[in-house]
Structure 1
């Protein structure tokens, strides 16, 4: 609970005591960005390669905006912009120019919130506001360049949140999050830090590498169910699929332990841990323990067929542990609860450094995995499970709204305790 309130009393009253998140105003947000202990590593990574390309792109973006203000030549569209104080509003901005030979223009028809969106909307991350918001979507293809072969206007597609060219060595190896054709950490919906590629909560979205990026939505799969496949569902999948099958082959009845929020309150939602549990079930796990101190997450986990717990006390070490706490203390708890020859994975962290019990890990022979998802490489596998009826991400969605109502819906998601909000036409 921090800083400046930004909702009316009716919104605050809609949540249980202590469940309402307060947003940082402009001054505190900027001070927090400058003081954030994760900001320096993030900046270093974003500039460690192709810094000139990033700078040229940002300069071109600024020059284009200035030119469009002086002499508007392009059509206009609306885009949702987030500002400090959890303020969200539609802004009238220039529409993307006609696509180049290998590019496409798409129209988002189902957009989902990310677990990080709450922290970003509250001004609690290294990503400076204002920014065009949203990075998980299913879209309809509106226009394609002459060289595009895999999609055509009218197709429904999943748009990966990361930008990747599909042709560099990293992309060809399936390491699409580290595409060398664009500057590091190029993403939709992260504003300046992501390279100003725009946000998914907009009428139109430019896709620079259509054949490499866009994944056709299988017939019979609801766009609302697949909206979060662009990031969070795929993140849950990659944390599980690379490790669980081999562990189940060794012990088919082994338990899986998933940790959500255990102690220190972070302004994050917890869909990735729930998606990870669903993927574990789809891949054959029979017993999944889900620990989270929040009663509504415990109820949700129980409805999904998991064994809910408020803490990890009394639970024995498990061969496979997913640390969704995003805290240093939570990571230590996860590693201490990983069984000998077990695996612990972490979807993400918001800290610059964290201590790990290396002696314990060495003695138990624990493997620890931390990293970002290669979304484009993972998305087809996730859609395959959905098409076969083995994975149902829609069961994690807690709130629905219309895209026209995005300012209010995203604001309520950010200041409240929704796990996953999906907006559709």
Structure 2
């Protein structure tokens, strides 16, 4: 089969690799039809994180089940499915608590199960991981593109909103205008937030934020951003979604939180070598909740809204490529020419 392979910083190649095969009774082989390039993929692409080279890449798969192991019960060949960015069993202590990212039988994409930016993957723990799309929507391209973000960014934005305590009638702020931040805006609107302040620096992305429900846009940075939000809200907001992970973003989140408020953080931490000033949280009794998003826990709930037409995160895909175009997709995201790249195989 053909797949995108990492060979080093800024070196993604599409080449022939071995097609994964069933190796366990709980495996499934999926022919990938849609996948995506994630902002977190840029860490190894830029050389900011270590990754084995060569290695398959990608963690946001959607496709058609081709073959299943003898113990798989939830899907069968021919089913349309998608899968979250972390493999989970669905039955261990942590999966039962909705914390699938801490699954004791969990796994990640890549290695001998195939990177998701390729033609086929082997999904271990298929019953706990794969989400089946109802047959009536299996070939509806608009629906499929709206469902694909549930593999990562929509579920992650939702996790931020949930942990920030967003509820009907509330005022909240979203720090970050990447795909996760934009989906955080959409999640906050879905949960009934009355006022949503989006903080970002890119006009095209903030236009999407408005489309998704942002009522106020703040383009200032650092202390100026904190002053602006404080002015807009007469003292800050009770619910902050931190969707970047950088030290500066966390400082902004703490600064705009109202005393007693909550920051829901999902940005992958980076640039925190000097530590985080927790006194900014301590002094105002601001709670910090979140972490890596267990998107599998939210999949059915969010899919139901997509299928009834009340949730559509697909506008985060601002560029579409085929498999051969994956290296160009990485370049476009790295240079901020695209918010998120859709890959159609």
Structure 1 match to 2:196: 288
SS in 2 for 1:308: strand
Structure 2 match to 1:91: 15
Alpha-carbon shift at residue 282 of structure 1 (Å): 1.1
Alpha-carbon shift at residue 81 of structure 1 (Å): 0.5
Alpha-carbon shift at residue 165 of structure 1 (Å): 2.2
TM-score (norm 1): 0.72
- TM-aligned CA distance change 1:152 to 1:302, over 3 Å: same
- TM-aligned CA distance change 1:333 to 1:228, over 3 Å: same
Structure 2 match to 1:407: 327
Structure 2 match to 1:327: 246
SS in 2 for 1:364: coil
Structure 1 match to 2:116: 200
2:173 aligns with one of 233, 252, 257: 257
Structure 1 match to 2:233: none
Q: Is contact 1:244–1:280 with CA below 8 Å preserved after alignment?
A: no
Structure 1 match to 2:217: 308
Alpha-carbon shift at residue 392 of structure 1 (Å): 0.8
- Where in structure 1 are there 5+ consecutive unaligned residues? 1-76, 262-269
Structure 1 match to 2:126: 210
Q: Write out per-residue CA displacement over residues 289-308 of structure 1, whole angstroms, 9 at most, x where no aligned residue.
A: 11112233233323333122
CA distance, structure 1, for counterparts of residue 117 and residue 279 of structure 2: 46
1:137 matched to 2:61: yes
Q: Is contact 1:328–1:354 with CA below 8 Å preserved after alignment?
A: no
2:257 aligns with one of 321, 328, 338: 338
CA distance, structure 1, for counterparts of residue 279 and residue 16 of structure 2: 56
Q: Which runs of 4+ in 1 moved over 6 A?
A: none
CA distance, structure 1, for counterparts of residue 278 and residue 325 of structure 2: 49
Number of equivalences: 328
Q: Is contact 1:107–1:142 with CA below 8 Å preserved after alignment?
A: yes
- TM-aligned CA distance change 1:354 to 1:200, over 3 Å: same
- Where in structure 2 are there 5+ consecutive unaligned residues? 231-235
Q: Is contact 1:320–1:342 with CA below 8 Å preserved after alignment?
A: yes
Looking at CA atoms only, which structure, 1 or 2, has the larger radius of gyration?
Answer: 1
1:278 matched to 2:186: yes
- TM-aligned CA distance change 1:129 to 1:415, over 3 Å: farther
CA-atom RMSD in angstroms = 2.2
Alpha-carbon shift at residue 390 of structure 1 (Å): 2.2
Q: Is contact 2:163–2:290 with CA below 8 Å preserved after alignment?
A: no
